[in-house]
Amino acid sequence: MGLQAVDIQTRITRALLENLPADAKITRIEFEGPYLVLYTENIKAVTGEEGLAAKIAKAARRKVIIRPAESIRLPVEKAREFLIKNIPPDVGLHEIYFDELKGEVHIYALKLGQLIGRGGMNLWMLMNEIRWKIVPHRAPVM
């Protein structure tokens, strides 16, 4: 890493530490290309309920992704069971894929509107229970 990259990382880290709220519980900071990725133990930061990503992006002048830390996530099998049990059958669930490196669950369904819910309430409820970031996808109709 060149000297300029180290300076940028130092500036961004300093901006983060100055602007993060005390309850953010950031456990790890990584750079993935143009994105600044923060791992947190505060699930409300992941669901976007607190508007933390926008505050950090403005302070760091970088695109920000907030992911749940490994320590707070439910094990894959328990999370899968919970999702299967709590996603309504009329959603047309096709597949649930867990990306353990990113802490994301990719859910493929026919009816995304019912999966997401009004104002994202269904996704927030599911994320608060399993503590994984949910990425909904429309399943191909075949």
Over the stretch 45-84, which tens digit does the pLDDT of each residue have? 766 666 777 888 887 788 888 899 999 999 999 999 999 9
pTM of the model: 0.82
Sort 30 into a burial class: Cβ within 10 Å, 0-12 / 13-18 / 19+.
exposed
